[in-house]
Amino acid sequence: MARMKFICDAERCIECNGCVTACKAEHDVPWGVNRRRVVTLNDGVAGEKSVSVACMHCSDAPCMAVCPVDCFYRTDDGVVLHDKDVCIGCGYCSYACPFGAPQFPSNGTFGLRGKMDKCTFCAGGPEANGSAAEFEKYGRNRLAEGKLPACAEMCSTKALLGGDGDVVSDIFRNRVLVRGKGSEVWGWGTAYGKPATNPAPQAKPEVKKS
C-alpha cells in the first residue's frame, strides 16, 4: 500500500512558482486561495533557500485532532482530505497546522469566511471520483486518473517530489549521496515523524585530499 508524501529539495527549488501555478490552474482555485506557495528563507541573502509548501498530509495530522465537527478523514494512501459539507469554517485547523495549509476564501458578504480549502494531493474529496461535484469543491482527482499531483509532476527542476513515500525518499537520498550536501528536508520530521525515528538521509562525508 502506497503512503503518499511530499518532499521539497531546497537545493533545487528556484522559486519559479511553477508548482503554485500548476495547482491553481489544475483545480481552478479561486482568487485569494493558495493551496501551495513557495517560501524563501533568508531572501536576498547569498545562499537563500526556497521551499514549496502545502498540506503535507501528516501521519498524525493536528488538523484532524482539533476539528470540532470531525470533517477530516485519511484515505488508505495516507492522504488527508476533508468534507466541505461538514466543515463549518471555524478556522481551528488553520491554527493547528504547522504548515499554514488550510485556506479560507472570503467570498461572502462582509468578508464571510467560507469552507476550508487545502491541498488534496490531487485526490479530490468524498464525492464520486472525477465527478463535476467533486471538481467544483475540491478540484481534479488526478490520483483516480493514475497520475501524481500536478505540482510535483510539473516541477521543472524536480525539486518538489510527490508520490509513494518510499520511492520519493529514495530519489532524494540518492541525490544527497551524489551531491554530498543538502540533506535537510524542511517539514519532513514535523509531518511524518521525529527525526530520531525517521532520519533524513545523511550527506556523503567529505573525503580529505592529501
Question: What is the C-alpha separation between 23 and 26, in angstroms, rounded?
Answer: 5
**By the rule CB under 8 A, 156 interacts with other proteins:** no
C-alpha to C-alpha distances, 79 to 88, 142, 202, 209, nearest whole angstrom: 21, 13, 27, 47
Among 146, 194, 197, 209, binds other proteins (CB under 8 A): 146
Residue pair 6/57 in contact (Cβ under 8 Å)? The answer is yes
**By the rule CB under 8 A, 167 interacts with other proteins:** yes
SS3 of 176, please? helix
With CB under 8 A as the contact rule, which of the stretches 36-44, 59-67, 107-115, 180-188 interacts with other proteins? 59-67
Among 37, 74, 113, 115, binds other proteins (CB under 8 A): 74
**By the rule CB under 8 A, 18 interacts with other proteins:** no
Angle ∠(169,175,178) on CA atoms, nearest 5: 140
**By the rule CB under 8 A, 207 interacts with other proteins:** no
Q: Which is nearer to other proteins, 91 or 108 (CB)?
A: 91
**Alpha-helix residue ranges (DSSP H) falling in the chain:** 18-27, 62-66, 92-96, 132-138, 150-154, 165-179, 188-192
Question: What is the C-alpha separation between 104 and 146, in angstroms, rounded?
Answer: 29
CB of 177 to other proteins, least distance (A): 9
**By the rule CB under 8 A, 38 interacts with other proteins:** no
**By the rule CB under 8 A, 168 interacts with other proteins:** yes
**By the rule CB under 8 A, 181 interacts with other proteins:** no
CB of 181 to other proteins, least distance (A): 14
Residue pair 139/7 in contact (Cβ under 8 Å)? The answer is no
Among 100, 114, 126, 193, binds other proteins (CB under 8 A): 126
**By the rule CB under 8 A, 185 interacts with other proteins:** no
Question: What is the C-alpha separation between 118 and 149, in angstroms, rounded?
Answer: 13
The letter for the amino acid at 65 is A
In the complex, which residues of this chain contact other proteins (CB under 8 A)?
Answer: 1-2, 60, 64-67, 70-77, 81, 83, 123, 125-126, 128-132, 140-141, 143-148, 152-153, 155, 158, 161-164, 167-168, 171, 174-175, 178
